[in-house]
Homo-oligomer: A and B are copies of this chain.
Amino acid sequence: MAMQNLRQFLFALSAAGAVGFVAIIFVLRWVLHFKEGLAWDGGLAEFNWHPVLIVIGFVFLQGIAIIVYRLPWTWQCSKLMMKFIHAGLNSAAFIFAVVALVAAFDFHNTAKIPNMYSLHSWLGLLAVILYGLQLVIGIGMYLIPLTPVSWRAAFMPIHVYSGLFLFTSVIAVALMGITEKLIFGLSNPKYKDSPPEAIFVNVLGLLLVVFGALILWIATRTPWKRPSDQILHTLHTNGGSEDITKAGPALSELADGTNTEDGDVRRRSNKLDNLDD
């Protein structure tokens, strides 16, 4: 990665990290300061685990999982190890989301509030189910050695699109959840009277949007891709008809800044091996 490029990447990454961190502080302050705190008692303090686990796990961890291949200091690690980290972070995010769902259902059942009536609940449950499916298919495709390389390559655009779409959907569903909770949770003063809690949690919503925007920006910049993936991208763009040796610029960037040996560079430049390792 060229120097100016690297500086821009580190700026975007720091901004995403900072905004994500502040969002986590905000959701914790929301439930601990403005609301009933955290407990596992079937009451409102159990429900409060729902937004906390969603923001920490389903938003923040999922966001980091998405951009983990973009971190330049991991480009000397094997692709297989990075895949395990990607799958591990996404699995953790999935577990957070499932426990968050249990907290919401538990609270509803105890309080005799119906489940699954709102658009938030429909889209949220759909997102968790599809995320689980994406996880299972992702592991089957890219971590099981038996899967044919041609399947891996053909499925990659769908895997990337689904991943970014699910991440975006999760943030949209979180914003709907904030809207519901502020309407139901605030009375005297109500949401429309803009008490401090309303303003504070609206800002949390804004932070989630900015975090999402930064992660999507980092994930979709081609020059910020892991070098071997840049080459793959070029090959796909050109319909795979181009000689592999022409993918020079991306490789020359790899040599600049990482202590990769020549042999390693050649190994990474091989499309089939890359998908296989």
Contact = CB atoms under 8 A, between A and B. Distances in A.
A99 interface: no
A168 B169 CA distance: 9
Number of copies of this chain that the complex holds: 2
A123 B205 contact: yes
- Which among A183, A209, A220 has the greatest number of chain B C-beta atoms within 10 A? A209
A259 interface: no
Contacts of A241: 248-249
Nearest to A176: B179
A147 interface: no
Contact of A209 (B118, B123, B193, B202): B123
Contacts of A73: none
A122 to B, nearest CB: 6
A51 to B, nearest CB: 13
A120 interface: yes
Contacts of A250: 239
Nearest to A199: B117
Interface residues of A, number: 54
- Which among A172, A192, A242, A247 has the greatest number of chain B C-beta atoms within 10 A? A172
A242 B246 CA distance: 9
B193 A114 contact: yes
10 closest A-B pairs by beta carbon, nearest first, are: A172-B172, A119-B205, A239-B249, A119-B202, A117-B194, A176-B179, A117-B192, A114-B192, A179-B179, A234-B237
9 contacts: A119-B178, A123-B209, A157-B221, A161-B220, A168-B172, A175-B175, A175-B176, A234-B238, A239-B250
A26 to B, nearest CB: 13
Interface of A: 113-114, 117-120, 122-123, 157, 161, 165, 168-169, 171-172, 175-176, 178-180, 182-184, 191-194, 198, 201-202, 205-206, 209, 213, 216-217, 220-223, 230, 233-234, 236-239, 241-242, 246-250
B172 A175 contact: yes
A162 B179 CA distance: 25
A191 B123 contact: no
Contact of A161 (B198, B206, B217): B217
A43 B116 CA distance: 31
